[in-house]
């Protein structure tokens, strides 16, 4: 496997943790930059909160990261994907729930049709899906720590 960039909220953004680092629960997560046949990327805008626009979420025990991404993309944007490639990893910590999130960022390509999301999560059902260019998405990313780390990985992976 090729070496991919890894960005840590502690080192890259000088985050100070409220608890000893080894006391955080670990919750692996995955997110995907999903391209369609026109080279547009799936984005999700949630009605109830603001975060970066990429589909993804937590890895369930027994799943590979790629399987988790396939499941999350089907749930959140209603699409099947292929050509899944890891482009970077970022590490973040939440003091509010004392959780460490090693997050795997992938690129993948849509296969088949753009269908209806299969999610049963209420907050995900109240969202809008749009397909945009990566430069447009990059410029629209917020200034929160997660978005900063995603931007850094996109830059390091030379995707723009």
Residue 1 lies in a domain: no
CATH number at residue 62: 3.90.79.10
What's residue 55's pLDDT?
93
Residue 30 lies in a domain: yes
User: Of 97, 105, 98, 90, whose CA–CA distance to 144 is shortest?
Assistant: 90
What's residue 129's pLDDT?
86
Residue 9 pLDDT exceeds 60: yes
Please give the tally of structural domains in the chain.
1
Displacement of CA 27 from its chain's centroid (Å): 13
Residue 71 makes CB contacts below 8 A (sequence gap 6+) with 60, 63
Residue 119 lies in a domain: yes
Structure tokens at 103: 């997050």
Mean pLDDT of the chain: 90
DSSP class per residue in the chain? -----EEEHHHHH-PPPSS-GGGSEE--EEEEEEE-TTS-EEEEEESS-------EEEPPTT--HHHHHHHHHHHHH--EEEEEEEEEEEEEEETTTTEEEEEEEEEEEEES---------HHHHSEEEEEE-HHHHHHH--SSHHHHHHHHHHHHTT--
Residue 141 lies in a domain: yes
What's residue 48's pLDDT?
62
Residue 50 pLDDT exceeds 80: no
Structure tokens at 12: 């890259």
Residue 27 lies in a domain: yes
Q: Give the C-alpha separation, 111 to 44, whole Å.
A: 18
pLDDT (average), residues 44-51: 70
pLDDT band at 14 (very low <50, low <70, confident <90, very high): very high
What's residue 63's pLDDT?
97
Least confident of 4-8, 122-126, 143-147: 122-126
What's residue 108's pLDDT?
98
Residue 120 lies in a domain: yes
Domain that holds residue 11: 6-156
Displacement of CA 117 from its chain's centroid (Å): 17
Beta strands 80-94; 29-35: pairing state: unpaired
What's residue 160's pLDDT?
87
Residue 41 lies in a domain: yes
Residue 139 lies in a domain: yes
Percent of the chain residues past pLDDT 70, beyond the cut: 89
pLDDT in tens, 94-139: 999 999 999 999 999 999 887 776 655 665 556 788 899 999 999 9
Structure tokens at 59: 């890895």
What's residue 23's pLDDT?
97
What's residue 44's pLDDT?
87
């Amino acid at each position: 496997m090729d070496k991919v960039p890894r960005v840590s909220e502690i080192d890259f953004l000088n985050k100070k943790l409220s608890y000893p680092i080894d006391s955080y629960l670990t919750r692996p997560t995955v997110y995907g930059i999903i391209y369609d046949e026109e080279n547009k990327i799936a984005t999700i805008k949630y009605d109830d909160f603001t975060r970066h626009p990429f589909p993804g979420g937590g890895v369930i025990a027994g799943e590979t990261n790629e399987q988790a991404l396939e499941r999350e993309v089907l749930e959140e944007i209603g699409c099947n994907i292929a050509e899944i490639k890891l482009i970077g990893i970022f590490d973040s910590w939440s003091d509010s729930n004392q959780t460490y999130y090693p997050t795997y960022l992938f690129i993948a390509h849509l296969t088949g049709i753009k269908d209806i999301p299969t999610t049963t999560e209420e907050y995900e059902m109240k969202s809008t899906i749009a397909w945009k260019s990566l430069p447009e998405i990059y410029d629209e990313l917020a200034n929160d720590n997660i978005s900063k780390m995603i931007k850094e990985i996109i830059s390091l992976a030379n995707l723009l």
